[in-house]
Amino acid sequence: MFDFDATLPLMAIQFLILMVLLNRLFFKPLMKTLDERDSYIRSNQVDAQERLAKAQRLIQQYEEELAASRREAQALVASAEEEAQKIAAQRLAEAQQEAQARREQAQQELDRQKAEAMQALEQQVDALSRQILDKVLGASVG
Amino acid sequence: MQMLSFLDTFTAFPLAELEVGKHFYWEIGNLKLHGQVFITSWIVIAILLTASVLATRNIQRVPQGIQNVMEYALEFVRDIAKNQLGEKEYRPWLPFIGTLFLFIFVSNWSGALIPWRLIELPEGELAAPTSDINTTVALALLTSLAYFYAGFSKRGLGYFSKYVEPTPILLPIAILEDFTKPLSLSFRLFGNILADELVVAVLVLLVPLFVPIPVMLLGLFTSAIQALVFATLAGAYIHEAVEGHGGEEHEAH
């Protein structure tokens, strides 16, 4: 079982040859591939991280813009509402004023007509009272 | 292992032969080689090289199929090397530790998953390359050379200071460590894999059906663990040589 012979050195030489061949056929090309893949992945990762940062910056920018325009829109709405209220109040005041004026005018007209009617009535009262006087007194007098 | 030969009387099944310590010898000049080890190790090497070529033939940024599998394997061995040697130092040692892990792992699993014993050899039988002591000692000695090389190339002659660093009293132990490291590495791997194959073989011999399956699954587990342990310890030894003292001792199993 323990018989050493020329198998030993030849096996060693054979192993060294195998090592050289495997180094050329297996270790070198595949290690190169692994290294290249590593650097590829790393560069891609860096690239992706840059893009992610850029996208996040854009998101932030957009959000800021969105907030600004929302504030602007709110301000616009508020000012428009204020203006509308002002206009409404103004119109209401005008309308009330006009209504007041018309009412006063109508009142004046009414007063005037009343006075006229009273005057006319007064004249007729005179005439009628004279007639009545004539009729009552006229027979006795006449 | 003559004590197991009595089991041969039970053999009624072609799977259930047990030959330990017999080798299929090849002779080149006056050198003797264990042919069965080389045959299986070439198959293991062929599997590894084919998988590598298929995985890197058409490299995509998004991995698919075999490329994904091999990238998983690469990341696994890279993590072993990185955990032991640290982020800065691991790259030059990745091929060594990675090849150690892949070769041992595929060898061990080939021993457990490929029915080598169905292939008849004139003598001996095919088994995982790591169940031969020559293979494991070769790998362990290469690990020793690797950490000596790592120490010298990193710290020059200052590497020797590690032998007397905390106190010169520990000098013999420090020297002994250089021998015990490859010894423990090689015998751990060899013993685990050979024992696993023997247990499976004996169980198959006794009860050919179903009963060996849990042991086979356990064998797959220990095979993977042994590959991990070998690669991790190799990384730890290299780290220790590079860093000098102050690094914690990684010893396991």
Say what percent of chain B tops pLDDT 70: 88
Specify the higher pLDDT residue, A96 or B211. Answer: A96
**Of residues B97, B51, B232, B94, the one with CA closest to residue A35:** B94
Cα–Cα distance for residue pair A31/B20, rounded to 1 Å: 41
Instruction: Inform me whether the pLDDT recorded for B211 exceeds 90.
Output: no
Q: Read off the pLDDT of residues A18-35 as tens digits, 9 standing for 90 and up.
A: 999 999 988 898 889 889
pLDDT band at residue B10 using 50, 70 and 90 as cut-offs: very low
Question: Residue B224 corresponds to which tokens in the numbers above?
Answer: 């993977």
What DSSP string describes B12-33? -STT-----S---EEEETTEEE
A interface with B, Cβ–Cβ below 8 Å: 1-12, 14-16, 18-19, 21-23, 25-27, 29-31, 33-34, 36-37, 40
Cα–Cα distance for residue pair B144/B46, rounded to 1 Å: 26
Mean pLDDT of B93-105: 92
Cα–Cα distance for residue pair B83/B238, rounded to 1 Å: 12
pLDDT value for B246: 47
Cα–Cα distance for residue pair B172/B176, rounded to 1 Å: 6
Residue B138 lies in a domain: yes
Specify the higher pLDDT residue, B156 or A109. Answer: A109
Residue B181 lies in a domain: yes
B 35-54 residues with CB < 8 A to A: 37-38, 41, 45, 48-49, 52-53
What DSSP string describes B230-247? HHHHHHHHHHHHHH-BTB
Q: What is the mean pLDDT of chain A?
A: 91
Cross-chain residue pair A14–B45, CB shorter than 8 Å: yes
Q: What is the span of the domain harbouring residue B66?
A: 2-243
Residue B27 lies in a domain: yes
pLDDT band at residue B169 using 50, 70 and 90 as cut-offs: confident
Kind plus residue range of the DSSP H or E element containing B191: helix B171-206
Q: Poorest-confidence range of A107-121, B194-208, B220-234?
A: B194-208
Cα–Cα distance for residue pair B227/B99, rounded to 1 Å: 11
pLDDT value for B225: 93
Cross-chain residue pair B74–A26, CB shorter than 8 Å: yes
- Residue linked to tokens 């061995």: B77
Mean pLDDT of B18-44: 80
How remote is the C-alpha of B96 from its chain's centroid? 12
pLDDT band at residue B248 using 50, 70 and 90 as cut-offs: very low
Residue B250 lies in a domain: no
Burial A71-92 (b: 16+ CB within 10 A, else e): eeeeeeeeeeeeeeeeeeeeee
Give the phi and the psi of residue B28 in degrees, each rounded to 5: -115, 115
Task: Tell me the C-alpha to C-alpha distance, in Å, between residue A60 and each of A48, A53, A64, A69.
Answer: 18, 10, 6, 14
Cross-chain residue pair A4–B61, CB shorter than 8 Å: no
Cross-chain residue pair B45–A34, CB shorter than 8 Å: no
Cross-chain residue pair B141–A12, CB shorter than 8 Å: yes
Q: Read off the pLDDT of residues A60-108 as tens digits, 9 standing for 90 and up.
A: 999 999 999 999 999 999 999 999 999 999 999 999 999 999 999 999 9
CA distance B14 to chain A (A): 23
CA distance A73 to chain B (A): 53
Residue B249 lies in a domain: no
pLDDT value for B14: 46
pLDDT band at residue B140 using 50, 70 and 90 as cut-offs: very high
For residue B34, give the 3-state DSSP assignment. strand
For chain A, the maximum distance between any two Cα atoms, rounded to a whole number of angstroms, is: 194
Residue B130 lies in a domain: yes
Domain count, chain B: 1
Judge contact between B66 and B54, C-beta under 8 A. Answer: yes
pLDDT value for B245: 54
Specify the higher pLDDT residue, B77 or B10. Answer: B77
Mean pLDDT of B70-78: 91
CB pairs under 8 A between A and B: 114
Say what percent of chain A tops pLDDT 70: 96
Kind plus residue range of the DSSP H or E element containing B168: none
Mean pLDDT of B222-248: 83
Residue B248 lies in a domain: no
pLDDT band at residue A55 using 50, 70 and 90 as cut-offs: very high
Cα–Cα distance for residue pair A17/B179, rounded to 1 Å: 25
B95 closest CB neighbour out of A2, A10, A22: A22
Cα–Cα distance for residue pair B136/B86, rounded to 1 Å: 26
Cross-chain residue pair B132–A7, CB shorter than 8 Å: yes
Residue B253 lies in a domain: no
Say what percent of chain B tops pLDDT 90: 31
Considering only CB atoms, which chain A residues are within 8 Å of B43? none
Mean pLDDT of B4-26: 57
Give every CB contact of residue A43 below 8 A, 6+ residues apart in sequence. none
